[in-house]
Structures are given as structure tokens and as C-alpha cells.
Amino acid sequence: MVSSASSPSSPDRVLNAGILGATGTVGQRFIVLLAQNPMFRIHSLGASERSSGRQYSQAAKWKMSELMPQEIRDVVVKPCDPTHFEGCDVIFSGLDASVAGDIEKAFMEADFAVFSNAKNYRMVSNVPLCVPVVNTDHYSLIAAQRAHYGMKKGFIVTNSNCSTSGLVVPLKALQDSFGPLKRVIVTTLQAISGAGYPGVASLDILDNIVPLISGEEPKMEAEVLKILGGLNDSATACAPLPDLKVSATCNRVPVVDGHTECVNVEFSGTPPSIDDVKKCLREFTCEAQAIGCYSAPKQVMVVTEEEDRPQPRLDRNAGEGMAVTVGRIRECPAFHVRFTLLVHNTVLGAAGASILNAEYAAKKGFI
């Protein structure tokens, strides 16, 4: 077993970060966000055999609207093997699920703290599936995970599917304020960046909506229950909500960034007034804000009163992409309340969530 992770950090130390899948669209978003983040220094970049050994500017087809950071251009890309990441304090994985499982496990077994954007370990009972503005209490699972695998410092924390990340934020606020939820129906209008690069063929998406994103609906339905649930009595496994029913319908639409979701909610008990719902969402806070995490948004949810908002082009960058915008909050004749939300799918829905997860872990002494 390779043991190359650095010693535990103080909350104020700059952490050396490695990025797996660095040439892909999620990896590129990691680079953009980490280059601006004072808590991290980009130390190592990993990618496939095709890219390793080449300078990053030659290996990556840059697709971000922001310029490639100058300090990254000449960095030589490494194979995604723990032996090549000595000196890293934290590993961010933007790997595709087809290869992420074995690689992420190898890094965890080499005693690295791994923050994964892939689906492979999300539903493992002792792995935190964490949207960092919602359920950081699930970090209590790390002790059980380390004990299970015999690790001293290594662990895996995953963030959710990009569409799940937006949905659970208002649901968490409503559940905490008004008690258990009974049923949720969500219809998504998901941006093409969520499909990666090269993504959806232009002839399929231009002038069109594709009413299928393979595997997306069951992922949303299961992840919501785990994220909004608790832990078992021994804090060794997640305890997903047993009674909440979630029904998702997912569509791909010709928008570059920003997932829009139309949500209907039924409460188990007496429903709140619409004014109380708005107040609850506006005032919702999270622990990551309280402990001063750099990427935590000033406002977790932006509640808009404009009747035609949120819109992807206008609202996706709320809170630097880390806030969820909620609008069209109104009574529902079939359920109790309905609303429309917008989440930036590659920031809070992907790389941004992993980075805030790592900030939280560092502040709380897990790294």
C-alpha cells in the first residue's frame, strides 16, 4: 500500500490539491475554482494515459469561459496513480464513473482524502453523500469508513448528482422548519454541460428537448432520501428517509449552464403558508457559513419575487454559482406548494460542492 498523504492540516494551512480527470469539463471547473481559492494550491494534475506526460495546455481542450490559468499551462499531466501524487493533502476527482471506482479507491487506500464528483460511491452506506450547504452532519461517517477500510487518514466523500444538489437545498429547509415531507415531484430542464464534452450531439439538442437522461431519474430519487435522512444509532451508516416518495422526470435542454427544476411538495402535516415558505427559504443557513468556509455563499438561497424568474442566463451565477435561486413559489392544487429553482450544475452541482466539502473537512480537522 502506498502511503503518500501529507500530515493533517491546521484549518489555516494552504492545502496542496491534486485533480483527477483534470482535462475533462469537471476537471477544468476544478482548476478555475481552485485557482481563485486561498485555501488550496494546485499541486498535481492527473488524467488518462492519452494525456499523461503532456503539458496541460496541449492535453486539454479548454471549454471554460474563463481563461486557462497561466500557472497551469505548462504543468505536466500525470497518470491517475497515487504514487504520482506525493505531497497532495487532498484529491479532487472529476473522473468519469466508468473509471472512477478503482482509481478513487486506490487513492483512499493510499491514505488520501478524496472528494469525488462521480456516482460510484454515493450510495455506499458509510460514505457521506454531502451537499455541503445541507448535510455536513454526515461527516460523522468518516470514522466508521476509516475503521472499515483500516485507514488512518484516508476517506472518500462524494457530492451528489448535479440535479439533486439544487433540489435538496429547499427541501432541507422545508423539512427542518415544517416537519417531514410526504411526496415530491420534480421535473428538470438540464443544461448540456451536465453531459460533459463532447456531450449531446448538436443535431439532437438544437431546436429540441431530449426527454431522457439515462439513469438520472433513479439517481435523483435515491440520493434525495440519503441526503435528507440521518445516520443509524452507531453513526456507522446512513439511514435514508423511509417514508418520503420522490418522483423525478429529467430532460436535456439547449442551455449551456444551469439546471432549472419545477418542484411540487406535499407535507406530512399541516402545510405552511406561502409567506412562511418564502421566509423559511430566505433565512436558511448552514454550518459551512458559520465556520467561515471560503466558498460558502453569503445566502444559501436567493428567493426571487419576479414572476418570470429564475432563468439560467440571469440567475445561474448567484452566490458565485454556490447559491440556489428559488422563484414562482405558490400554492399547488394537487400537493401543497410548488416552485421553480435554478442551480449552477458545474459549481454547486459539481466541482464547487467538492471544494466546499473539502474546505469544511479542513476546518473541522478531518484533513
Q: Is 293 one of the catalytic residues?
A: no
Give the containing element (helix H, strand E) for 105.
Answer: helix 97-109
Q: How far is CA 89 from the centre of its chain?
A: 20
Q: Is 84 one of the catalytic residues?
A: no
SS3 26: helix
Amino acid letter, 304: T
How far is residue 278's CA from residue 281's CA, in Å, rounded to a whole number? 5
Per the residue annotation, which of 43, 138, 259, 336 is the catalytic one?
259
Q: Which of 189, 180, 200, 163 is nearest to 270 (CA)?
A: 180
Give the containing element (helix H, strand E) for 216.
Answer: helix 216-228
Give the containing element (helix H, strand E) for 170.
Answer: helix 162-178
Amino acid letter, 322: M
Q: Which of 180, 164, 179, 159 is nearest to 324 (CA)?
A: 164
Per the residue annotation, which of 80, 88, 130, 162 is the catalytic one?
162
Question: Which grid coordinates are listed for 268?
Answer: 406530512
How far is residue 363's CA from residue 206's CA, in Å, rounded to a whole number? 44
How far lies 113's CA from each of 190, 338, 360, in Å?
Answer: 30, 39, 12
> Catalytic residue positions?
162, 259
